Structure 1
Amino acid sequence: MGEFELIRRYFAAAASAQPAAGVALGIGDDCALLQVSAGEQLAVSTDTLVAGVHFPESCDPRLLGQRALAVAASDLAAMGAAPLAFTLALTLPTAEPAWLQGFAEGLDQMARQCGLALVGGDTTRGPLSLTLTVFGRLPAGQALTRGGAQVGDLLCVGGSLGDGAGALPLVLGQQTASAELAAALLARYWAPQPQFVLGQVLRGRATAALDISDGLLADCGHIAQASGVAVLVERERLPLSPALLALYGRDAALAQALSGGDDYRLVCCLPPAQLAEVQAAWPELTVIGRIAAGHGVQLLDANGQPLAMPVAGYQHFQP
């Protein structure tokens, strides 16, 4: 099967690749053409996932297709952008029809859930890797960034933490669990749901925001550095799911929530006066700390006393 036949058969015919609002020209030419209205900005983000680094080489391709797009799209939600389109650069060691069919189905399913149109990309031969570039739209000047947190803001998170990290030992075959517990955690790992609604609710309300990919403490460090403030995280206020607690117990679950990564929940800094209005629109929003003068991230116990910081999260090119 040639490159263009592969694209036509598995991707160009997908529901998510058909004409869509905001897409003036999709798959089939040298470039896609995206249309945004006057007064809007285009948000763009790229993620690369490599076999053996970001996912097991033997994983279910359908699940991989779902996850690959979801984790990329979460960056749009973190900026407060509405989903628009995406491209896929796919490097494959071989073009196996069964693998391609499953991957394309999973990708298309997540694309339709997110409201993202597939508008182009590339296919090449080589070690298995996926590069997805996502595009979103938002009113000019209303993007959520990491750099605006203010002293006195509340630190909030958009839902339970640690489930993605708790699922990883199940994915790798290092841990077993009952079917019910495993299903709850694996769903959060293989099909995280970008929090687009929350991101758009936070426009004009939050002073800073991002999505959690490398661990709560590590990602809060980005807010602290960009905003020139101290981020105080209150450990006992972290929301933990029943499945994570049942499988690991509270101490291990807290460790996964703090450092494990793969949550793809939004963390935001909110002036206290904005909290009730945002929680009315997104009831899962939970206050987990506050912003103070200073620098860096501090972990506090139930009495407000500093705790030793665990490993902060994963970084490429470090042991």
Structure 2
Amino acid sequence: MTRPSEDDLIARYFAPLAGEAGLGLRDDAACLSPKPAHDVVVTTDALVESVHFLPGDRPASIARKALGVNVSDLAAKGADPTGFVLSLALPDDWTEDWLADFVRGLAEAAADFSCPLLGGDTVKTHGPLTLSVTALGEVPAGRMVRRTTARIGDAICVTGTIGDSALGLALRLSPDWADDLTPVERRHLADRYLHPQPRHRLAEALRSHATAAMDVSDGLAGDLAKLMRASGASAVVELAQLPLSAAARKAVDLRPALLDTVVTGGDDYEILCTVSPSRLDSLRKEADSIGIPIAVIGQVVSGDDLPAFRLGESERRFHDGSYAHF
């Protein structure tokens, strides 16, 4: 059977996903007009098979993750998504069934995140499946939430729960340690790894109340260190205040060594932010109104040391606090 051409693939699979600015994917570029008095925020992430996802992952899950990790970056900047472009390098053994499932997942994610397709490129590769998403968002002029503006005395907060995705990946790679978890608990951890939940609905509250923010993509300890380094400060975190799901808490209770995985593992895609104590109640109230939990886990302090993570009388600083490509 003859495979469709690139033009056929675009018309059949991707054009139906295009937003108005994508011009039906019939042109060489999209055309966007930002809202008056707004800045454009741009972010990009590449995903490579066997690095960012496993070869057996469902195509729809890969698509959702590819878009979700970028929308998470926008959310941490207080930006509302406006669209994305996709570059997709398909390996030699790709099939139309695989592509159809990928596009189904992409369409669902684009609708859920209010982030339509604007364009992109589809090519063939002799290497592993590789895809890159560039997402665009908008913020009122001058209101992007930066990494560099945390202040000493700010509360350190995270949304949702931490460590589920890292445990979900560990479960995929070596499931023996999870024999004592229930099927429901194992499914929860696996789902958090496969399907990030970007906190895009929190964008407005973050730009109103957060002093600094980023998303937790490479690991809480390492990402917090990046945030503090950019702001010229340090931090103290109380591990007892770390928000854990029931599944993660049970896993750590059964095997305390997994706490390191929780703190340093990546792919949480929760929001890590700093907030003035005077704005904390307002942020919590707005987050509660849209069903996003926020936990206070520590405080910004002076200094240039790595963040200190305290548990009872003990204190640790994680020198390898996150995933690193290099």
Partner of 2:7: 4
Which residue of 2 is the match for residue 287 of structure 1? 296
Deviations 1:73-124 (A, max 9, x none): 1100010000110011000113411110111111111111000010100011
Q: Can you list the C-alpha shifts for 1:216-238, whole angstroms capped at 9, x where unaligned?
A: 11101111111100122221110
Which residue is equivalent to 1:259? Answer: 264
Which position in structure 2 is the counterpart of 1:119? 118
Q: Who is 2:70 aligned against?
A: 72
Following superposition, the deviation at residue 308 of structure 1 comes to 4.7
The equivalent residue for 2:210 is 206
Q: Is the 8 A contact 1:234 1:304 kept in 2?
A: no
TM-score (norm 2): 0.91
Give the Å deviation of 1:256.
Answer: 2.5
Between the aligned partners of 1:265 and 1:301, the Cα distance in structure 2 is 21
In 2, the alpha carbon distance for the partners of 1:81 and 1:224 equals 21
Residue 219 (str. 1) matches residue 223 (str. 2): yes
CA apart distance, 1:252? 3.9
Query: Which residue matches 2:315?
Result: 306
- Aligned equivalent of 1:161: 162
Conserved 8 A contact 1:211-1:267: yes
Identity %: 37
TM-superposition CA deviations, 1:7-52 (whole Å, max 9, x none): 11111123xx243xxx373522111011211110111001000111
- Give the letter for the 1:149 counterpart: A
CA distance in 2, matches of 1:35, 1:304: 55
Answer whether contact 2:83 2:136 (CA < 8 A) is retained: yes
Note the C-alpha offset of 1:206.
Answer: 1.1
- Asked if the contact 2:168/2:190 (under 8 Å) is kept, the reply is yes
Matched, 1:274 2:289: no
Amino acid corresponding to residue 239 of structure 1 in structure 2: P
Q: Which runs of 5+ in 1 are unaligned?
A: none
> TM-score when scaled to structure 1?
0.92
Measure, in 1, the Cα distance between the counterparts of 2:267 and 2:40: 25
How far apart, in 1, do the equivalents of 2:173 and 2:9 lie? Answer: 30
Residue 253 (structure 1) shift: 4.7
266-275 or 169-178, larger mean C-alpha shift: 169-178
Question: In structure 2, what is the Cα distance between the partners aligned to 1:303 and 1:178?
Answer: 29
Contact 1:86 1:119 survives alignment (8 Å): yes
Corresponding position of 1:110: 109
Distance 2:226 2:209 in 1: 19
Distance 1:254 1:173, change over 3 A: closer
- Regions of 4+ moved over 6 Å: none
Cα offsets for 1:258-317 (capped at 9, x unmatched): 101110000101000111111111141111000011013322324575325363111112
Contact 1:149–1:207 (Cα < 8 Å) also in 2: yes
**Cα shift at 1:150:** 0.6
2:153 alignment counterpart? 152
For residues 33-182 of structure 1, the aligned pairs below 5 Å read 33-94=31-92, 95-126=94-125, 127=127, 128-172=129-173, 174-175=175-176, 178-182=182-186
Question: Residues of 1 paired with 2:225 and 2:251: CA distance?
Answer: 29
Aligned mates of 1:33, 1:27 — CA distance in 2: 11
Distance 1:244 1:253 in 2: 9
Q: Secondary structure at the match of 1:160?
A: coil
* Aligned equivalents of 2:114, 2:265: Cα separation in 1: 28
Q: 1:308/1:194 Cα in 2 relative to 1: closer, same or farther (>3 Å)?
A: closer
Give the paired residue count.
Answer: 312
CA gap 1:191/1:150 in 2 versus in 1, 3 angstroms: same
- 1:13 is aligned to 2:16: yes
2:196 maps to 1:195: no
Q: Contact 2:306–2:317 at 8 Å: present in 1 too?
A: no
Asked if the contact 1:233/1:297 (under 8 Å) is kept, the reply is no
What displacement does 1:129 show?
A: 0.1
Contact 2:85 2:134 in 1 (8 A): yes
